[in-house]
Structures are given as C-alpha cells and as structure tokens.
Amino acid sequence: SIERMGKGSNVQKAQAARERNQKKQGKSDEERRAASAKAKADSTAFMCLLCRQTFMVNAKPPVLYLHVTSKHEPGTDPATCFPALKDFDPNDPKGEKKAEKAKAAEKAKKTKKKNDAGLDDLLNAGLAGSKKKKGK
C-alpha cells in the first residue's frame, strides 16, 4: 500500500503566523528608542559653530562650504564654522588634485632615492678603484 504524505507541519504554520503577527505589530519600544536616537545623532552630525545650523551626517564638504559662503560674511574662514573644512579646497571639492600631487611627490621621492643610491655606488666604486691604482 502507498503511504500518504501529511498535509504539513503545524510547527511551520505556527512559525509563519508568528512572523505575520510580528510584522503587523511593528517595532518594539526599545527598537523605536534606538532608531530615534540614531536619527537624532545623524541629523546633528555637523553643526555650524557660528549660527548653530545643523546638517545631516551625509552632508559633503562642498555643501558645508556653500553654507559658509552663502550664510556668513565674505572672508569667513570655513574652519571657524566647521572643523571638518580645515583642509577643504573649494577649487578641488573632491580632493582629486590633492591626491595627484601626493602621488607625484611620492614618485619624485622614489626617483631621488634611486639617484642618490646610484651616486653612492658610483662614488664607492670610484674610490675603491682609485685605491687599487695607488697600490701599484
């Protein structure tokens, strides 16, 4: 005789029902408190030290710089409003030129070291060779 398969486990049905009910209830009080605390911290991540205006955590330096130039007197140092703008260059908002200069400086250092080492080797070889000649 062929055995018939069951109609499904009551455990699975109960688990699915629990999940559905949990989705309907939403977040617990603890989860809500944690989420609101995170949102509050993110919303006040950057604060202008002169006018106390706040900016979200995802505000980029060009946005902060725009605030300084548009809301405050001309000539205001951006670092006085936002310490994060200390090394910000408005002509290079993404920092690409600065990165290029750093790479070029690093390459120059490497080539200079190689040249110095080559000169030392030549000098040592020359001195060693001259000592041998004097011995004759």
First and final CA of the chain: distance in angstroms? 112
pLDDT value of position 71? 87
Q: Indicate the pTM of the whole model.
A: 0.47
pLDDT value of position 11? 85
Predicted confidence (pLDDT) per residue in 21-78, tens digit? 887 777 777 888 888 888 888 777 788 888 888 888 888 888 888 888 888 888 888 8
The partner residues of 47 in beta bridges, in order of sequence, read 54
By the 8 A CB rule, do 57 and 42 touch?
yes
